[in-house]
Structure 1
Amino acid sequence: MQPTFVVLSDLNSASDAALRYTSQLATQLPEGHLVLMHVFQDPLLFPEAALMTPVTTPSRHAVMADLAQRADHLPVPAEPEVTIDTLGLALADAVQRHHPLLLAAGREHPTNLIERVLSNMALPVLQGAHYPLLLVPEESHDPELPHRVVVAADDQPFWLTAPSLALADLFEALNPTTTVVHVAATDGPSKAGIGFDAVRRTGLFGPIDNNSLYEVREEAPADGILHAAAEVNAQLIVVMARPHTLLGGLFHRSVTAQLLRRSPVPVLVLPTTD
């Protein structure tokens, strides 16, 4: 099956950052290509629209032309899609038709596309599909392929979903140097080995040995992960999302939420099974 990356586009600079970064990832795979998906005037994205003074918005045709122009400047084939479905239906349809390797979006500010994705009916779609999510910060002007990757691991075992494991060819092509980061909650005995073994068992991140473990103490989890990522000059942070975490509001209160909002480098969220 042709490796496909679906990029959610708001036609802004944050979306452009996600396009640039994701297209670089797609170049690493034979026949890799992108789908640029824009949800046109989705009432779930803009529930306040009826209460606001109407503003001039581009026509659907103009949006398609804009997406096509962006697609023409990418280093891999890309197809624009404009839908008038709700975001949840649009994502479900995209997953069913394209079976993407991942869904990507740009991070602009707390009310950008990714926040809307996770605050409406799209969340159950993502939770049910178990597809990886990539969030790219707007400041990623010159995307660099992730040759140094930080994988955040806690003290619980996990197993990746099939769509997460489908990224194996991409990671093999990238061949990154991987650092497994564990932030200890206390000064007691280390439990880093549990999460470390789970990461190594996936076989997804290349050679991992005992020198690949980076344990942080006396820091909050998100702070420790970001500190470690900066220390090793990582270009990508990978975090695991358990099903109960997604259902419980992953992107509102968790460590993952803080990383998605604060990380200066892209964050890849991989769904797991319990």
Structure 2
Amino acid sequence: MSECGKLYVVATPIGNLGDISYRAVETLKRVDLIAAEDTRHIKALLQHYGINRKVVSLHQHNEERAAADLLEKLRAGLSIALVSDAGTPLVSDPGMPLVQATRDAGIEVSPLPGACALIAALSAAGLPTSRFSFEGFAPRTSSERKSFFKAKADSPDTWIFYESCHRVLASLQDMKEVLPPERRLVIARELTKLHETIVKTTLSEAAALVESDRNMQKGEFVILVEGAPKSDQPVELTSEQERVLGSLLKECPIKTAVALAVEITGARKKTLYQAALRLRHGEGHDE
């Protein structure tokens, strides 16, 4: 029986063709076979670097069958490079069945690190990086997205998700209905490409920003959201939120004023209630 081959998991550029390592280029030149998410897409990269290797398709609709075929080739001694359309394979891309099957078979899997959209965006976002979570692509429907955002609302860590140009505006609008308006987020689009844009804003302004600029509704998006403040660190109301609350307190009991202020401003009920008590106490009222 011939010695088994080796599977290389190779990161490729997410836009700029220069963002590939020397080692990755040399590996792609010498492997026996390249398994790619889209054979047409990867051929542009191979042509750019003068790489002439056989390419086979491995995508989300065929990866179970393709993984079995590729495993047999690895067992026969062939070396294979796994690539996705852009960035690091398996990060919201196909390839997991092949990597799992290869490892289970005791065949070596070697990673070749490189570009990754979520890490590139995180490095330039200016949001905390000590702890973060990657959530893949946001759900497709509005109700599922709102449930997803609610589940992340109290997470203290920065969280990141990918979004398509067709849903980015709707996703930001859904998020605005669920999360506090003062929550900071970063919208990163077309990273490393000609029209790269990285915008830091707040949830109260994000949807309007994207809606007002058609270019901000094109391309590939990474959305990074600031984690919730720790429970022992109170969230301050904006001057406008406090003004609305003060006006309501002049006409309504505290509970009613707070409930209305939540609907009008989107601020947290607990924060508004604490502010209402402070305002009422300052006015010398008992209730």
- Does TM, normalized by the shorter one, top 0.5? no
Structure with greater proportional strand content = 1
Give the greater-gyration-radius structure (CA): 2
TM (norm. structure 2) is 0.27
TM (norm. structure 1) is 0.28
